[in-house]
Amino acid sequence: MPLLEICQLKKSYATPDGGTLVVVDLPEFKLEAQTQVALSGESGSGKTTFLNLIAGILAPDSGSIKLNGLELAGLRESARDRVRATTIGYIFQTFNLLQGYTALENVLLGMSFGPGADREFAKSLLKRVGLDAKLNHLPRQLSTGQQQRVAVARALANRPKLVLADEPTGNLDHTNAGESLKLIREACRENGAALLLVSHDREVLAQFESVQELGKLNRAAK
Amino acid sequence: MTLPLIVAKSLRQHLLSTVVTAASIALAGGLLMAVWVVKTQSNDAFTKQNAGFDAVLGARSAKLQLVLNAIFHLEASPGNLPWTDYEDIAKNAAVALALPIAVGDNYRGYRLVGTTTNLFSVEHAPGRKYRVAEGEEFAAGYMEAVLGSFAARQLKLKVGDKFHPYHGLNFDEKQKHEELYVVTGILEPSNTPADRVIWIPLEGIQNMKGHDAKSAAEISAVLVKLKNPIAGRGLELMYNKQGNRLTFAWPIAQVVAELFGKIAWFDKVLELVAWLVAAVATGSVLASIYNSMNERRRDIAILRALGARAHTIFLAVVLECAAIAVLGMVAAFAVYLGITGVAAHIIRTETGVVLNAFAWHPILAWAPAAMIGLSALAGVIPAVKAYRTNVAENLVPVS
């Protein structure tokens, strides 16, 4: 059974002129457990909306999203929050670290709403991403690359089955992007998490054995 | 652990607004508690204050004026009464002790009260008499004075010091008497109006040069201690109903209570103002948190993306408002002590009545509870806004 199974997924938004804009219209998508898949997608291809639907941040208009055997589409918002807290890790392009929290606290928060705070595991994750000397640093005291690594550690903090990465290297320079991508892939592998990454960067996509084009999968993007 | 961490971090991230809002809560809470305690304590202190006496006999006048003049040493004397009236009441079978007093002079604003040495045998509180703490009692017929503890401290007079009295109840440098009095003793603090009086022999006031010659056979009032307080009813009937020359003010507590009854409307206004200030302060919590919601949206969206439920965010905002009120109310106790301390000093200086800022009063528990509760309630409005934050919109731009 696939870890993620999507069928006839649709999401649209109301436009200011009273019309409807379909952003996602995806007949089928599957992702096996512990695999790593990259989705290529240009601006407007609906990639962030697609990831937000999988994460349960957005509710679909119709269709089915089965994650780890659980149908997300019919769940109430609080139940989707629970699934996200326990099953999904999310890495954002802009990292989205909480600025008032230290690196360690950011990682601890990543597990607090799910399995519960485990200080030692949080420290071990930060050590894994090379930040064991920066546990008590605030995001503004870290370089961009270091902030990205905190975000990676936080995404893995709740021991997720699936890590979603939305243009994770988009804000990094060439060298940092390469290292960061390698770290994300290794860390997911080590923690038994599947990785679904979206990017429009050809160099990033070239690192993946499995790349699918969201523009072709998503009928709304055509 | 997560909720307290989120609340603490948010308070710290918005430190300036936290401090300003908590300060407004502190001022309002402190004012609210101070108004209540000063009001209640002064009411209690005045109505329970009788300086050890049950009644006052004086010239025909309002009972309140008589009590304020003879017991609290405030107001002007309503007039004098002949010495024989003192002798009559002193002989009455219902009277345990009658203490004649004469007023009319001061030293730098502190009243000179002429009386007999019987003063020192009066119990102003159970088991506590007016006792000389330093020096000795004055001797009848001599130009000697025993100072109340507060008057001695304020006038910086000590045993052996000498002073010239001034004519009248208010200090006027031009009204200096020739007589020279020597301080023979200082009373121990009694926490009664007697503390702010200069006690001298009765003859001192009666025979002071410049006073009307007939005042030598008159007194200002008689302080009366009854064998049984109920006996006051008979004396009241005799002096107030059957006679028309004198006034018997009894019971003292009821006379003073009438004063507070007359100014009860002022208490209500004061209470209303205090509650309005408290309402404005809790409103400031609402305004402060609500106005910062825009800058909080991103953090809220991130927390939600990490799996925080909407009601967790709602609770965090409500708790943050309550936490600001808790911080404010901790500081409010300092404000309360400051206001009450100043008020107590003024009341003691003006009346001799002592208030205790550290005494327990239920308002000290329910004012903090009310302020924290109201602030948490005020937090519901921004909390609803936080609850409804659109996660996807505030997380990353939709591509």
The alpha carbon of residue B27 is apart from the nearest alpha carbon of chain A, in Å, by 29
**Searching chain B, which residue's CA lies closest to the CA of residue A42?**
B399
Higher pLDDT, B50 or B10: B10
Q: Do A57 and B303 touch (CB under 8 A)?
A: no
Domains and CATH numbers, chain A: 32-61+84-221 (3.40.50.300)
Q: Which helix (H) or strand (E) holds B259?
A: helix B252-262
Check: CB of residue A141 under 8 Å from CB of residue A188: no
Q: What is the DSSP code (8-state) at residue B237?
A: I
Q: Do A110 and B392 touch (CB under 8 A)?
A: no
Residue A74 corresponds to which tokens in the numbers above?
A: 């019919």
Q: What is the DSSP code (8-state) at residue A67?
A: E
The alpha carbon of residue A210 is apart from the nearest alpha carbon of chain B, in Å, by 23
Q: Which of residues 2-41 of A touch B (CB under 8 A)?
A: 23
- Residue entry with tokens 């003859």: B203
Residues of A with Cβ-Cβ distance to B392 under 8 angstroms: 48-49, 52, 57-58
Q: Do B305 and A96 touch (CB under 8 A)?
A: yes
The answer to whether A52 faces chain B, any CB pair under 8 Å, is yes
pLDDT at B397: 41
Of B307, B395, B397, the CB nearest to A113: B307
B161 Cβ contact list (under 8 Å, min separation 6): B182, B183
Neighbour tally for B249: CB within 10 Å: 31
CA pair distance B85, A30, nearest whole angstrom: 112
Neighbour tally for B98: CB within 10 Å: 23
A106, B106, B169, B197 from B200: Cα distances, Å: 78, 11, 15, 10
Mean pLDDT of chain B: 91
The answer to whether B311 faces chain A, any CB pair under 8 Å, is yes
Q: Tell me what the mean pLDDT of segment B319-338 comes to.
A: 97
User: Poorest-confidence range of B118-127, B173-182, B349-358?
Assistant: B349-358
Of A78, A99, A113, the CB nearest to B306: A113
- What pLDDT band is residue B1 in, cutting at 50, 70 and 90? low
**Searching chain A, which residue's CA lies closest to the CA of residue B302?**
A96
CA pair distance A19, B91, nearest whole angstrom: 105
Instruction: Give the number of C-alpha atoms closer than 13 A to the C-alpha of residue B274, restricted to the C-beta side.
Output: 23
CA pair distance B66, B252, nearest whole angstrom: 10
Q: Tell me what the mean pLDDT of segment B109-128 comes to.
A: 93
**Searching chain A, which residue's CA lies closest to the CA of residue B310?**
A78
pLDDT tens sequence across B66-83: 999 999 998 888 899 999
Q: What is the largest CA-CA distance in chain B?
A: 106
Q: Do B2 and A158 touch (CB under 8 A)?
A: no
Alpha-helical (H) ranges within chain A are 47-55, 77-87, 103-112, 119-128, 144-155, 174-190, 202-205, 214-217
Q: Do B309 and A52 touch (CB under 8 A)?
A: no
CA pair distance B284, B278, nearest whole angstrom: 10
Q: Tell me what the mean pLDDT of segment A15-37 comes to.
A: 92
Residue B20 pLDDT > 90: yes
Residues of A with Cβ-Cβ distance to B297 under 8 angstroms: none
CA pair distance A78, A60, nearest whole angstrom: 15
The answer to whether B313 faces chain A, any CB pair under 8 Å, is no
pLDDT at A56: 94
B256 Cβ contact list (under 8 Å, min separation 6): B46, B47, B49, B64, B67
User: Poorest-confidence range of A37-46, A109-118, A127-136, B124-133?
Assistant: A37-46
The alpha carbon of residue B8 is apart from the nearest alpha carbon of chain A, in Å, by 10
pLDDT tens sequence across A62-98: 999 999 999 998 899 999 999 999 999 999 988 999 9
Q: Are strands B81-82 and B218-219 parallel, antiparallel or unpaired?
A: antiparallel
Of A81, A100, A110, the CB nearest to B13: A100
pLDDT at B399: 41
Question: DSSP letters of A149-205?
Answer: HHHHHHHTTT--SEEEEESTTTTS-HHHHHHHHHHHHHHHHHTT-EEEEEE--HHHH
B8 Cβ contact list (under 8 Å, min separation 6): B323
Question: DSSP letters of B137-202?
Answer: ---TTSSEEEE-HHHHHHHT--TT-EE--EESSS--GGGB-S--EEEEEEEPP-SSGGGG-EEEEH
CB-based burial label for B216 (10 Å; 0-12, 13-18, 19+) = middle
Q: Do B5 and A105 touch (CB under 8 A)?
A: yes
Q: Tell me what the mean pLDDT of segment A33-49 comes to.
A: 88
Q: Do A55 and B305 touch (CB under 8 A)?
A: yes
The answer to whether A44 faces chain B, any CB pair under 8 Å, is yes
Interface A–B counts its CB contacts (< 8 A) at: 89
Of B5, B302, B392, the CB nearest to A96: B302
Residue B133 pLDDT > 70: yes
Q: Tell me what the mean pLDDT of segment B272-296 comes to.
A: 90
- Residue entry with tokens 């040495």: B117
**Searching chain B, which residue's CA lies closest to the CA of residue A23?**
B399
CA angle B110, B114, B120 (to 5 degrees): 100
pLDDT at B398: 37
- What pLDDT band is residue B62 in, cutting at 50, 70 and 90? very high
Residue A48 pLDDT > 60: yes
Q: Do A109 and B2 touch (CB under 8 A)?
A: yes
User: Poorest-confidence range of A17-26, A128-137, B213-222?
Assistant: B213-222
CA pair distance A142, A138, nearest whole angstrom: 7
